[in-house]
């Protein structure tokens, strides 16, 4: 496996990382609110993961992982 940088977010021009998607990306701001995700990655990952799964489905990101 090659060590490569993650892809770049077309909206924010930042690396498309789990943290970026779950806390920072402007494109998914409304969906994060809808599913009660915060701006703190550790907090999001320590809560009931049902909301993260719903978020991934709503944004169709589940198809990309």
pLDDT digits (tens, 9 = 90+) for 20-57: 999 999 999 999 999 999 999 999 999 788 999 999 99
Report the pLDDT value the prediction gives residue 21, as an integer from 0 to 100. Answer: 96
Residue 56 lies in domain: 9-63
**Residue 2 lies inside a defined structural domain of this protein:** no
Which phi-psi region, left, alpha or beta, contains residue 3 (left: φ > 0; alpha: ψ -120 to 50)?
beta
Q: Which pTM was predicted? A: 0.83
| The residue to which tokens 């789990």 are assigned | 18
Report the pLDDT value the prediction gives residue 23, as an integer from 0 to 100. Answer: 96
Q: How many domains does the chain have?
A: 1
| C-alpha distance across the termini of the chain, in Å | 17
How far apart, in whole angstroms, are the C-alpha atoms of residue 59 and residue 56? 5
Burial class (CB in 10 A: 0-12, 13-18, 19+), 16: middle
**Residue 35 lies inside a defined structural domain of this protein:** yes
Report the pLDDT value the prediction gives residue 26, as an integer from 0 to 100. Answer: 97
């Amino acid at each position: 496996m090659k060590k490569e940088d993650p892809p770049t977010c077309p909206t924010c021009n930042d690396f498309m990382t789990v943290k970026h998607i779950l806390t920072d990306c402007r494109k998914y701001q409304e969906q994060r609110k809808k599913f009660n995700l915060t701006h703190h990655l550790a907090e999001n990952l320590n809560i009931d993961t049902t909301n993260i799964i719903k978020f991934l489905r709503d944004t169709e990101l589940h198809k990309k992982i």
